[in-house]
Amino acid sequence: MIRLPLVLFFSAVLFSTGVYGVLARRNAVLVLMSIELMLNAVNLNLVAFSQFWHDVTGQVFALFVIAVAAAEVGIGLAIVILIYRNRETINIDEVNLLKW
Amino acid sequence: MVVAAETVSATGIGPGFTRLAWVVAVLPLVSAALTLFFGKRTPGRGWIYGVTAMGAGFVISVLVLWHFVQGGSAVSSSVTWFTIGPLHVEAGQFVDGLTAIMLVVVTAVSLAVHVYSIGYMQGDVRFTWFYVVLSVFTAAMLDVVIADNLIQLLVGWEVMGLCSYLLIGHWWEEGINSNAAIKAFITTRIGDVPFMFGIFVLIAATGFHSANIQEVGELVGGADVSRGLVSVAALLLFGGTIGKSAQFPLHVWLPDAMQGPTPVSALIHAATMVAAGVYLVGRLYSVFLHAAPEVLRFVGVIGGITMFGAALLALVQDDIKRVLAYSTISQLAYMVMIMSVGPAGRDAAFFHLFTHAFFKALLFLGAGCVIHAVHSNDMSEMGGLWRRMPVTFWTFAVGSAALAGIPPLAGFWSKDELLVAGSKGHAVVFTLMLVTALVTAFYTARMVMQTFFGAYRGHGEPHEAPAVMTGPLVALAFGTITVGFLGAAVTRGVFFKWVFFEAPEPVTFVPWVATLSILAAGLGILAGWYVYRDQPEPDPVFQLGWLSSLLVNKFYLDEVYMHGIVLPVRDRVSAAVVWFDRNVVDGVVNGTARLTKDLAFGTDEFDRTVVDGAVNGVAQAAGFTGGLLRYLQSGNVQRYAAFLFVGVVVLAIVITRV
Amino acid sequence: MTGQEYAFAVLALVGTVSAIRLVTAKNVVHAALYLVVTLSVVGGVYLLLAAEFVGWVQILIYVGAIVILFLFGLMLTRAPIGREALDNQQRGIAFLIGIGILAGLVFLIQGAFSWNGPRLRPSVGTTAELGQSLFRQWVLPFEAVSFLLLAALIGAVVLSRRDDRP
């Protein structure tokens, strides 16, 4: 009974907010959080369409995305901790050795 | 001339020794090489090689002649020498009766001279070298005689010229000898250039196909070749004769050539080389016959002028060799002039050439004995030698009588044939020959009287020459006496069965001609004896006023040549040529070099600025853009992410909506 | 507007606000807490959409485990506090890009559906259905994901080991 476009709109808002967060935040952990936001938006889309098409595959994929997101966060935080150990900072701005 | 070359003649006689004719020409070359390399070590200093070669050559030549005596016909054989495009030149021999006769003459006289020189040149500083060049010369003359094509003939011709130069200048330490050698070489060269062009014209007439004499002879007789071309060829060829056989106006070298040793004068300048010019005209007689009649008339005119002029000049000479030199010029001119009357004249000329070789060589060698004894060439220092040098005297007398034309010696018969040929319709020729015969007899008598009779006016102790020198004299005298009969009516002119043009001519004895000839000779000798029997001083020939001075100065011809040709060329033409070479030719070369250098500079500049500039510019542009583009590489991951998202949005819209 | 739509509208509003606060908070811990709110809202929306299994998994994993991970990460790296410490210089561009992406997505959505478009009538989503689909059709990806998790586990352990070798 919910109109599909509304759900999609909500998901789009979440996604763009996540994009802003990825691009604007300095702290690596906050960037990871923003990435989680984006992934959630995608999940929302998948579930909404799964109900639209009356196919449970969308939800299965949402599950997969959640699993992958979990794995990704784990690895991502491990890397962030390694960077913190090496450089005493996790400001992404300061990780620019590939600068010209 | 147009006898076909068959190996088996109509009479069924095989070629026999004629196939070996070329051996006669090669033997002297072999002996020359042997003499050159081993001569100095051989006892006697090397004359043995030359004498042996000439002896063997003489024997083979007689055997070759025997083939024609038996009635055989001409033989030819050749190998290919070289081919240039369509031109096919061979090296080979063409042996007919004329060739055989010439072989005999050349080898006989050369043998006599080789033997004679053993004595005459004894103790000479370059004895061995003398024999080397003598042999080479003989080989060259024999090559001319047996050559079946014009190129081979030309080779022999030029080698003869070289040997003549070398031998005239044998005692080159004295300037007068080397000058004489140079004069001889250059003067004959002036004649050789038109000769060469004549050969080229003839080769062109064959369509640049062949230089074979027989082919040329047949070709000019046909209708394919224009008369004008043949006339041009004939005139050019005659140029060679004028030079080599010392005809007017190129006769000036022969008297000066007497500076060489007397055997050289005997061989080269009496019997053989100078006869080559006459031989040339006779060999290529077709060309002359089929040319415009003016050509033969020109030949006759030149012959006539030379004959009479030289005879006159012989009158005023004191040097015995010069008398003989002018006599040779005059006798050669007889042959040249008589060639102009037609085939009969050609055959008569060859007969005279044949006999003249013998008695002129004899006279020269005799003069050599006299000079050797008296140590002087001048007749004014001789006299009364008949008692002290009997062999020399008698042989010399035989030779002189032959020269004057006294029967039954060879000279008479050949001169008779000349007169007979001229008597048939050529009054001017005939008269001139007769008058010249008279003058000839006179100067011959003068020579004999001055040398052998009267009182001895010299300072030495003259004695007879050694046997090695008098032996050849006797042999040649024998020849002079006997060979004349070969052309006389008594043997039915067997000579003319060997030497003929297109068909043998019968020999007839014309009494009135013979009578006139004997009268002229007798008159001349009588006059000579009369004037000179008392050895008058000064010589009467010098007391003829303007005639004497004209003759003594040799018609002032040498002065004309010197001031008209030699000095202007040497001083002005040479200077002009040098200027041209230094300014124009070198200017072009240097200018080209400078141009190339400037061009190289320009190219270098272009290369450095434009080409390198372009290349460097491209590199710099790449570096510049790289310098700008590197700012994209901020190292900031979020910056990259920003670009990524923008790109994704754009792509998404583009792909789904567009 | 049906009742579910009202409920959805409320949840969406809360979720939007908390998401915006998540990316603009000056305090990292506040940001983490806002993340919790946002994730819960999304879980609630799942429930509204009758995707019960996914919804509870969301709460379980995301809110329960991942946020804890984040908090641990923040603790271990001693994140600083303050605007200048947390936001970088390209905020403006990032904002524009965000707006741009939003615009693009909206454009795409309204191009595909009108705002008064189809209504969702949730029908699938029970755990049984999910389980059947997962273990029948999608069993291979399921196994792959488990390998992925194992790899991530090992990787995280390896990465964060201290290098104490002499």
Confidence of residue B6 (pLDDT cuts 50, 70, 90): very low
CA nearest to B638 within chain C = C90
Residue B546 φ then ψ, to 5°: -65, -30
Q: What is the torsion angle, in degrees rounded to the nearest 10, for the CA atoms of residue C76, residue C81, residue C83 and residue C89? A: -30
Q: Give the span between the Cα atoms of B116 and C47, in whole angstroms.
A: 152
Instruction: Give C138 to chain A, closest Cα distance, Å.
Output: 8
- What contacts B166, CB < 8 A, 6 or more positions away? B133, B181
Task: Indicate the residue type of B40.
Answer: K
Which B residues, 584 through 643, put their C-beta within 8 Å of a C-beta on chain A?
630-631, 633-638, 641-642
Give the angle B116-B122-B125 at the CA atoms, nearest 5°: 130
CA distance B648 to chain C (A): 9
Q: Are B388 and B463 in contact (CB under 8 A)?
A: yes
Q: With contact defined as beta carbons under 8 Å apart, do C109 and A11 qualify?
A: no
Q: Is-contact B134 B267, C-beta < 8 A? A: yes
What are the chain C neighbours of B642 within 8 Å (beta carbons)?
90, 93-94, 97
Q: What's the gap between Cα B160 and its chain centre?
A: 6
With a CB cutoff of 8 Å and minimum separation 6, the contacts of B243 are: B187, B188, B189, B190, B191, B192, B195, B250, B277
Contact B154, B199 (CB under 8 A): yes
Q: Mean pLDDT: which of B119-133, B214-228, C70-84 is highest?
A: B119-133
Distance, in Å, from the CA atom of B163 to the CA atom of B176, rounded to the nearest integer, reads 18
First to last CA, chain A: 55
Touching A: which chains, 3+ CB pairs < 8 A? B, C
pLDDT of residue B510: 78
Q: In 3D, which of B426, B446, B185 has the Cα closest to residue B312?
A: B446
User: Contact A1/C121, CB-based, under 8 Å?
Assistant: yes
pLDDT-based confidence at A56, cuts 50/70/90?
very high
- ipTM value of the model? 0.91
DSSP bridge pairs for A25: C87
Average pLDDT over residues B77-88: 82
pLDDT value of position B7 = 46
Beta carbons of A43 and A68 less than 8 angstroms apart: no
When CB atoms are compared, the residue of A22, A31, A96 closest to B635 is: A96
Q: Cα dist. B420→B416, B429, B468, B524 in Å? A: 6, 11, 39, 20
**Token output for A48:** 């909404």
The backbone torsions φ and ψ at residue B79, rounded to the nearest 5 degrees and listed phi first, read -125, 155
pLDDT range class, residue C33, cuts 50, 70, 90: very high
Structure tokens at B648: 């994704």
Q: CA dist B658 to B626, B645, B651, C114, C153, Å?
A: 33, 19, 10, 20, 44
Task: Kindly identify which residue of chain A lies nearest to residue B640, measuring between CA atoms.
Answer: A23
- Average pLDDT over every residue of B304-308: 90
Contacts of A95 in chain C (CB under 8 A): none
pLDDT over 80 (residue C146):
yes
Diameter of chain B measured on Cα atoms = 149
Q: Name which of C2, C26, C30, C42 to mutate to probe chain A: the one with the most chain A Cβ atoms within 10 A of its Cβ.
A: C42
Q: How many CB pairs under 8 A join A and C?
A: 271
Least confident of B287-301, B494-508, C31-45, C87-101: B494-508
Q: Is the pLDDT of residue C44 over 90?
A: yes
The whole-number average pLDDT for the span B253-268 is 89
Q: Does residue A21 register a pLDDT over 90?
A: yes
- The minimum CA-CA distance between B650 and chain C, rounded to whole Å, is 8
Q: Which tokens belong to C19?
A: 């998401």
Q: How many angstroms away from the CA of B631 is the closest CA of chain A?
A: 7
| Of the listed ranges B104-113, B453-462, B604-613, C149-158, the one predicted with least confidence | B453-462
Q: Which residue of C has its CA nearest to B651?
A: C104
Q: How far, rounded to the nearest angstrom, does the alpha carbon of residue B162 sit from its chain's CA centroid?
A: 9
With CB atoms and an 8 Å threshold, state whether A96 touches B638. no
**B10 confidence band (pLDDT: 50, 70, 90):** very low
Within 10 Å of residue B141's Cβ, how many Cβ atoms?
32
Q: Check whether the bond before B511 is cis (ω within 30° of 0).
A: no
Q: Which two tokens stand for residue A24?
A: 């604007």
Distance from CA of C28 to the nearest CA of B (A): 19
Average pLDDT, rounded, for chain B: 85
Please count the residues of chain B: 658
Q: Closest residue of A to C72, CA-based?
A: A77
pLDDT of amino acid B15: 61
Structural element, H or E, at residue B606: helix B586-606
Interchain CB distance below 8 Å, A99 and B642: no
Residue B293: asked if its preceding bond is cis (omega within 30°), the reply is no
Q: Of the candidates C28, C19, C104, B648, which has an alpha carbon nearest to the alpha carbon of residue A20?
A: C19
pLDDT score at C147: 95
Measured from the Cβ of residue A57, the count of other Cβ atoms closer than 10 Å reads 17
* Angstroms from A25 CA to nearest CA on chain B: 9
Q: Is B275 exposed, middle or buried (0-12, 13-18, 19+ CB in 10 A)?
A: buried
pLDDT (0 to 100) of residue B9: 44
Higher pLDDT, C17 or B292: C17
**Under an 8 A CB cutoff, do B642 and A23 touch?**
yes
> Which residues on neighbouring strands pair with residue B87, listed in sequence order?
B84
**CA gap B505, C81 in Å, rounded:** 149
Residue A38 with chain C: CB contacts under 8 Å: none
Rg of chain B, C-alpha, whole Å: 37
Q: How confident is the model at residue B14 (pLDDT cuts 50, 70, 90)?
A: low
Helices A4-24 + C3-24 axis angle, to 10 = 10
Which phi and psi (to 5°) does residue B20 adopt? -95, 10
pLDDT at B8 over 60: no
pLDDT per position as a tens digit, B339-361? 888 888 888 888 889 889 999 99
CA distance C36 to C50: 21
Interface test with A, best of C22, C99, C106, C161 (most A CBs within 10 A): C22
Give pLDDT, residue B619.
93
Percent of chain C clearing pLDDT 70 (strictly above) = 95
Distance CA C41, CA C53 (A): 15
Report d(CA B155, CA B175) in Å as an integer.
Answer: 29
Indicate the Cα dihedral angle C113, C114, C117, C123, nearest 10°.
Answer: 20
Residue of C nearest to A90 (CA): C77
How many other CB atoms are found less than 10 A from the CB of residue B399?
30
Q: In 3D, which of B17, B12, B91, B2 has the Cα closest to residue B56? A: B17
Angle at B352 (CA atoms; ends B350, B152), nearest 5 degrees: 35
> Using CA atoms, how far apart are residues B191 and B198, in angstroms rounded to an integer?
11
Q: Quick one: pLDDT at residue B168? A: 92
Nearest CA in chain A to C65: A70
CB contact under 8 A, B645 and C101: yes
Q: CA-CA distance, B333 to A55, in Å (whole number)?
A: 139
- For residue A27, CA distances in Å to B235, B279, B285, B648, C54 come to 120, 125, 125, 24, 30
B348: Cα separation from own chain's centroid: 22
pLDDT value of position B1: 32
Identify all chain B residues contacting A28, using CB atoms and an 8 Å cutoff. Answer: none
* Pick from C28, C66, C109: CB nearest A36: C66
Verify whether the Cβ–Cβ distance C133 to A7 is below 8 Å: no
Chain C residues within an 8 Å CB radius of B646: 97, 100
Structure tokens that stand for B431 in this block:
């008269």
B503 three-class SS: strand
CA dihedral sign of residues B301, B304, B305, B307 = positive
**Highest mean pLDDT out of A32-36, B1-5, B491-495, B568-572:** A32-36
Distance CA B241, CA B235 (A): 10
Q: pLDDT per residue over B496-549, tens digit each?
A: 777 777 777 667 777 888 888 888 888 888 888 888 877 777 777 777 777 777
Does residue B657 register a pLDDT over 80?
no
The C-alpha atoms of residue B136 and residue B133 are separated, in whole angstroms, by 5
What pLDDT is attached to residue B563?
A: 83
DSSP letters, C45-91, are: HHHHTT-HHHHHHIIIIIIIIIHHHHHHHHHHHT---SHHHHB-TTH
Q: Do C4 and A16 touch (CB under 8 A)?
A: no
Rounded-to-integer distance, Cα B107 and Cα B25, Å: 10
Dist. CA B225–CA B158, nearest whole Å: 28
> pLDDT by residue (tens digit) across B547-594?
777 788 778 887 888 888 888 888 888 888 888 888 888 888 999 999
Region of A57 (left: φ > 0; alpha: ψ -120 to 50; beta: rest) is: alpha
Q: Catalogue the long-range contacts made by B119-123 (C-beta closer than 8 Å, 24 or more residues apart).
A: B119/B465, B119/B466, B119/B468, B119/B469, B120/B261, B120/B262, B120/B263, B120/B368, B120/B372, B120/B469, B121/B261, B121/B263
Residues from A contacting B (CB-CB < 8 Å) are: 19, 22-24, 31, 92-93, 95-100
Q: Do B638 and A95 touch (CB under 8 A)?
A: no
